[in-house]
Structure 1
Amino acid sequence: MDGDGVTAVLAERGADADAASPPLPDADETALHAEPVVPVRGMPPEVPSDMPIQSLWRFRRRNRRRFIDPRHSRSSFFRRISVLGGAFILAAIAVYEMEQVLEVGGLTPIEIAVLILFALNFGWIAMAFMSAIAGYGLVIGRIGRERRTPSGPLGARTAVLMPTYNEDPSRVFAGIEAMAEGLHALGQGPAFDWFVLADTTDPDVALAEEAAVVAIRARLAGKANVYYRRRRRNVSRKAGNVADFCMRWAGAYEHMLVLDADSLMAPETIVELARRMEEDPDAGLIQTIPALVNGTTILARLQQFAGRVYGPIVGAGLSFWTGSEGNYWGHNAIIRTRAFLEAAGLPDLPGRPPFGGHILSHDFVEAALLRRAGWTVRIADDLAGSYEESPPSIVDLAVRDRRWCQGNLQHLFVLPARGLHWVSRIHLLTGIGSYVASPLWLLLILAGLALSLQAHFIRPEYFTEDFQLFPTWPVIDAERALRLFALTLAILFAPKVMGLVAFLRDRDSRRSVGGFRTILSFLFEILVSALIAPIMMLVHTGAIVSILVGRDSGWKPQRRDDGGVPLRSLIIRHRWHVLMGLALLAASWLDSLVLVAWMSPAIIGLILAVPLSRITGSNRVGRAIKRIGLLRTPEEAAPPPIVEAAATLRPVYEAAVAERPSMADLVADPRWRALHLALVDRVPERPRGVVDSIEALAAAKISEADTATEAVAFMTEKERAMVLATPFLLVRLAELPAV
């Protein structure tokens, strides 16, 4: 294809959007042998919109919009005082009891440290306990209640966004087709357009995505519009990906439904979210609570079971007291486009990563900014039909949590922002606390161990400055300590017990899984979680230490299915965890066997970190646990229709992806090249004197090569990805002899 051909293709991409789905070859045809088709642009015409960057330090309260429906949009003060006040009173009682336990004979410095660390850790679980009580009441009250099913077409248009980063295209596009077909069957298809927003950097995955685009457009012709855009540069990661869409296309839509690469939503849930946005003029964002599905390993199914049994009361409790100041978790949520454009433009934090630069955990901050601007942010805890998947192994969980930990610690610099609602600040603190809790727990363990060793090995001080008949000796009230220990365990496990009771009281859920089997799964989950908890404690502590010394997390694609990791890699990753377990065992042994018994949950979990990680991340072991019925959930017993539909469609897209062209095919075949060029995002004008090093290197290697095959061999993965995203480079490559 010559330069004029490229110009024609690129010009065609600016034509009317209604021609989005001309006839294309069926997905099961071999793409390279299909009949030539008219190239179809990747995206509709742009509708440029302003998305001003928000200042964290300047905000005028008088500019905040006023609620149109204040009675509906204002949160209940009584709900907040009952949960937060109850948590404070409970924590105060426990801290007083701990002080009484330790102060017998006077507080030593180590006892003071133990008291402070206990207060911080107990306050955390007291908050979860009070919230769970509220959530339990809500969940029990809903059992048997019929959900509303309003009819009639939606009045507003919604863009469904699927950001993806080097993900398996068969998973992404199978999910999109399943959801789009479901909306079409409900007669609501015209209200939704689908956008795959790729930040993919692997050129082979990018070509696979394009093959999947061709397939899905053929299969959904006349039912749904599916668009595709791959960015040339991953500026600001996922937040930047969505912001790029907002500034260029979101102006044509009233709402955006943001999904993740592993997200699925029942069509009825999608419609209900859109309808709630239409009915509530003050709603800026409505967040669903996704249930976990498709877990195959023990770890994935453990999270799946916990989320299904305990998750509903946790989510309902959070929704109960946060009200209009809910939170956003980055996906499976619907957003009012106008609100997001006006209020959610993220600033970069001062300094360099890991604390500076673009905000990694953007979702919490976007929710806080929306609320600051006068829009409500709600958690739709009553809506079922929202699904996602979980990491399959401890290693994958650690990789994900390392990135999340860095993003949440960045919120330390967002907390003082002007104009934020105090509940939004609590959300930010909660995110920070979810990771800081691990080093606090570790310090509490070490302080308690030091207290025991002090009492055992250090002689009491007989001669102090003040006259006294007895020496200064670290003494505790043993009876009171046991009572406090029982109280702490009760508060810690009560949310799980309440979740189990609520689950068993739901007749449909209980029948689908079995009551006795659920109780066995409950005990199994507690046992395995207790063994994994100390490993994750050290993982999070190590993540915080690495962030404090200035290491950035980077951006790695998440594994979704296979949790297997080579034994050598597991030994390397868990070596410090095992050594820490041995050190705790040795220190406890020096004191007494009683202390070893008290410390055994942490000691056993750490010493067995390698086999635990291997077993819980094994698909084979996970399938064995599934066969005997442990950790079973209603969604596993009877998969939701949307989950089944996506699983059924996945082989179709695996076949389409298998027929994707290679880069050599793209260079040699004008048809594939025309299709590819029609999907390429527009290249912005380059300021004079500003040269992209990767683009320049790719151009130089193409100029130096004698054949296209040689040029491709010269290039790195990044350079090949740049050629795919730069039409004039691809044309120059195609002008070379093939071999």
Structure 2
Amino acid sequence: MDVRAPRPQPRHAAIFARHLANFGPLAVIATAAFCLALARLPDGASLPARVAYALLVALNVLVLAMSSWCNGLGLIVVLSRRRVMDVAGLKMRPPSGAARVAILFAIHEEDAAQVFAAARVIADDVAGAGIGTSDVFVLSDSRTPGAIAIEEAMLDRASRTGGPRLLYRRRNDNSGRKAGNVAEFVTRWGAAYDFMVVLDADSLMTGACIARLVGAMEANPRAGLIQAMCYPVGRQTTFARLQQFDSRLIGPLFQAGTAFWQGPRGNFWGHNAIIRCAAFAASCGLPKLPGKSPFGGEIMSHDTVEAALMLRCDHEVWMLPSGPDGRPDCSWEETPTNLVDHLKRDRRWLRGNLQHVGVLAASGLKTASLYHLLRGLAHFLYAPLLALWLLAYALLDRSIRLDGLVVLVAVLLALPRGLGLIAALAGGDAAGYGGSARLIASAAASQLFATLIYPVVAVSHLIDLVAMMFAGASRWAVQSRDDRNLSRHESFRALMPAAIVLSLAALALANATPVVAAWLAVGAAAAIPLALETSRSRRWPLFATPEETTPHPLRLRRQHIEAQLRAGRKIEPDAASAPLPPPRGLDMPTQSLSLHGNRSAVGMTVG
């Protein structure tokens, strides 16, 4: 069975040039770090020890540079005043009005009022967007009777007359988690739709943004998936507002840089994206990985793997550039509201990304896909890399001067916010952040907070990694999405192990590198107080975002609808729940991820 898209005219030179713009500077930065580390080593050390130490330094710097340079590339694109969509190479046109589109909310034990309010307002907004025929599905994997009863009640209250229909499906077999939930939709109804817009329980997207995605899909028939940028909004704790501010400040540059260098070989984040149903069915049937946890079993971080499989079958995967006016699209999500919940989410992502070790050897993967897989791993493996660097430093020779390397690391950590600040000020966007003075103060405070918590986050990742090597399969836990204050007990239990490790590391490095030791010590001391304080909802005059300063009408309407649903009111008194459409599915063959296996196993289906 050939699951590949028809081959286009070769564009290898253009793709190579884009990749070179990203990978070339990264190679230069890593090489410079390697040479700098090698030059600072004493002559008495053996050559293998010198090279191993310099490689550790280069790897640490490279991981930090991955994000920093992408934002640097984005700044170049943004300040060039060229339309980012033209630079990216993605063709754009208005939707034809003939598409069949399914909008999916894949949920598991979520806040049903929030989900159905978002589904309802999206259905209302899409009705006038001119995309064609559309339906909104809430695909539930909930198991508890209480959650199911609430979902059914919210469906009745949120139901609407006319199109798009608001549809609800709950499956009894939860195999495959979210990926299996979406795959079951494809094998049941995928042939009835050209495209599906995949959303998370906390996602929200305007009809205009969905129309841009549909138009882009129609203009690029080889596109299998287009990922929209999404910004966290709507939460009020200091921690959440810090995350929202950082994302809004840095995100546009990341979007521009990513859209440019990836071109048609992009990545998938699991939500806020449009997917061509036929391409997904033909190329994205996920197998179970061999072996035991944490490397084997059902693929948890399925999104990056699905993008890699699409690219392997010669479908294109794009990042949607910013709108014609250079402003971000109206595509949103929510963020964990405190440090402890943030680390819990990281723990889930760590387990999923560890499985990608077994995917890297799959036959036929594109270079860009390998980079996306490795970058996800690097985000969590940075902590052990840093620990190995400091251990090698302590064992090799403590007379090595680290000042130049410390400065380089500090610059790379601060660079994304600094570049975002330059772009916001140069682009005249400061008013949305409360004015230039508040924008600068917010960026400085955000950088200080990130610097203080970075050690405890890195060490928490290291502890989780070690624990995961000896743990069984992860339970499919319900995510906490609400604003909530941390208790002292919860903060101590979650953060004290990392604080102790940091304190011991600071003592060990005190004589050799006082600056690094002081940073680790302050991070250890500040972790729990900062976690407690930033879990509170305080109206600081900082960290405002354009979305907070001028809320979008769709977000305000979602809040209004959600309040009505919680109060037990039907939005349309005469509306009845729409029945599910008759099955019209697509075959979804399971793909091979082995080194020398066939790309698909014909006759095997997922769902």
TM-score normalised by the chain length of structure 2 = 0.87
The total of aligned residue pairs comes to: 570
With over 3 angstroms needed to count, the CA separation of the structure-2 counterparts of 1:201 and 1:677, relative to structure 1, is: farther
> Does 2:525 align with 1:613?
no
| Distance in 1 of aligned mates of 2:358 and 2:256 | 29
CA contact (8 A) 2:155 2:577 kept: no
User: 1:55 — aligned with what?
Assistant: none
Cα distance, 1:651 vs structure 2: 0.2
CA contact (8 A) 2:167 2:578 kept: no
| Distance in 1 of aligned mates of 2:220 and 2:558 | 31
Alignment of 1:203-242 (within 5 A): 203-217=145-159, 220-242=160-182
CA contact (8 A) 1:512 1:638 kept: no
With over 3 angstroms needed to count, the CA separation of the structure-2 counterparts of 1:215 and 1:141, relative to structure 1, is: farther
With over 3 angstroms needed to count, the CA separation of the structure-2 counterparts of 1:82 and 1:184, relative to structure 1, is: closer
* Aligned partner of 1:262 among 196, 202, 207: 202
Alignment of 1:433-472 (within 5 A): 433-449=378-394, 455=398
CA contact (8 A) 2:92 2:216 kept: no
Cα deviation, 1:538-585, whole Å, max 9, x if unaligned, reads 221122112211332211111112232322222222221222233234
User: 1:515 — aligned with what?
Assistant: 436
User: 1:123 — aligned with what?
Assistant: 62
Unaligned runs of 5+ in 2: 324-328, 584-607
CA contact (8 A) 2:308 2:365 kept: yes
User: 1:646 — aligned with what?
Assistant: 558
Percent of pairs with identical residues: 35
With over 3 angstroms needed to count, the CA separation of the structure-2 counterparts of 1:415 and 1:146, relative to structure 1, is: closer
> Does 2:316 align with 1:382?
no
AA aligned to 1:352 is K
| Distance in 2 of aligned mates of 1:92 and 1:306 | 29
Cα distance, 1:508 vs structure 2: 3.9
User: 2:140 — aligned with what?
Assistant: 198
* Aligned partner of 1:357 among 297, 305, 319: 297
| Distance in 2 of aligned mates of 1:120 and 1:264 | 37
Cα distance, 1:512 vs structure 2: 5.1
CA contact (8 A) 2:84 2:321 kept: no
AA aligned to 2:58 is A
Cα deviation, 1:650-685, whole Å, max 9, x if unaligned, reads 1011123899xxxxxxxxxxxxxxx99988999xxx
AA aligned to 1:411 is H
* Aligned partner of 1:598 among 512, 516, 537: 516
* Aligned partner of 1:290 among 209, 230, 233: 230
AA aligned to 2:560 is T
> Does 2:27 align with 1:88?
yes
User: 1:558 — aligned with what?
Assistant: 479
Alignment of 1:553-702 (within 5 A): 553-589=474-510, 591=511, 595-619=513-537, 623-625=538-540, 628=541, 630-656=542-568
With over 3 angstroms needed to count, the CA separation of the structure-2 counterparts of 1:644 and 1:132, relative to structure 1, is: same
CA contact (8 A) 2:77 2:84 kept: no
CA contact (8 A) 1:164 1:196 kept: yes
Alignment of 1:243-258 (within 5 A): 243-258=183-198
With over 3 angstroms needed to count, the CA separation of the structure-2 counterparts of 1:618 and 1:215, relative to structure 1, is: same
| Distance in 1 of aligned mates of 2:51 and 2:345 | 35
CA contact (8 A) 1:588 1:599 kept: yes
With over 3 angstroms needed to count, the CA separation of the structure-2 counterparts of 1:677 and 1:497, relative to structure 1, is: closer
AA aligned to 1:423 is A
AA aligned to 1:435 is F
User: 1:506 — aligned with what?
Assistant: 427
User: 2:217 — aligned with what?
Assistant: 277
| Distance in 2 of aligned mates of 1:385 and 1:399 | 27
| Distance in 1 of aligned mates of 2:25 and 2:92 | 37
CA contact (8 A) 1:585 1:603 kept: yes
User: 2:358 — aligned with what?
Assistant: 413
| Distance in 1 of aligned mates of 2:348 and 2:435 | 38
With over 3 angstroms needed to count, the CA separation of the structure-2 counterparts of 1:443 and 1:563, relative to structure 1, is: farther
CA RMSD of aligned residues (A): 2.9
| Distance in 1 of aligned mates of 2:186 and 2:47 | 58
Structure 1 range deviating more: 382-391 or 488-497: 488-497
Structure 1 range deviating more: 421-430 or 542-551: 542-551
* Aligned partner of 1:311 among 248, 251, 260: 251
| Distance in 2 of aligned mates of 1:113 and 1:568 | 42
Q: 3-state SS of the aligned residue for 2:568?
A: helix
CA contact (8 A) 1:577 1:609 kept: no
User: 1:154 — aligned with what?
Assistant: 97
| Distance in 1 of aligned mates of 2:77 and 2:99 | 31
Structure 1 range deviating more: 400-409 or 104-113: 104-113
User: 1:460 — aligned with what?
Assistant: none
AA aligned to 1:258 is V
With over 3 angstroms needed to count, the CA separation of the structure-2 counterparts of 1:678 and 1:279, relative to structure 1, is: closer
CA contact (8 A) 1:74 1:324 kept: no
CA contact (8 A) 1:209 1:657 kept: no
With over 3 angstroms needed to count, the CA separation of the structure-2 counterparts of 1:142 and 1:633, relative to structure 1, is: farther
Cα distance, 1:385 vs structure 2: 1.1
Cα distance, 1:122 vs structure 2: 1.1
AA aligned to 1:316 is A
* Aligned partner of 2:368 among 400, 423, 430: 423
* Aligned partner of 1:328 among 247, 268, 272: 268
Bigger-Rg structure (1/2):
1
Structure 1 range deviating more: 342-351 or 493-502: 493-502
| Distance in 2 of aligned mates of 1:318 and 1:676 | 41
AA aligned to 1:502 is A
TM-score normalised by the chain length of structure 1 = 0.72
Structure 1 range deviating more: 114-123 or 404-413: 114-123
CA contact (8 A) 1:293 1:635 kept: yes
Cα distance, 1:346 vs structure 2: 0.5
With over 3 angstroms needed to count, the CA separation of the structure-2 counterparts of 1:223 and 1:254, relative to structure 1, is: closer
With over 3 angstroms needed to count, the CA separation of the structure-2 counterparts of 1:604 and 1:484, relative to structure 1, is: closer
User: 1:495 — aligned with what?
Assistant: 416
CA contact (8 A) 2:507 2:517 kept: no
With over 3 angstroms needed to count, the CA separation of the structure-2 counterparts of 1:492 and 1:400, relative to structure 1, is: closer
Cα distance, 1:257 vs structure 2: 0.4
Unaligned runs of 5+ in 1: 1-51, 53-59, 456-474, 660-674, 683-739
With over 3 angstroms needed to count, the CA separation of the structure-2 counterparts of 1:598 and 1:357, relative to structure 1, is: closer
User: 2:286 — aligned with what?
Assistant: 346
Q: Which structure is higher in helix share? A: 1
With over 3 angstroms needed to count, the CA separation of the structure-2 counterparts of 1:200 and 1:680, relative to structure 1, is: farther
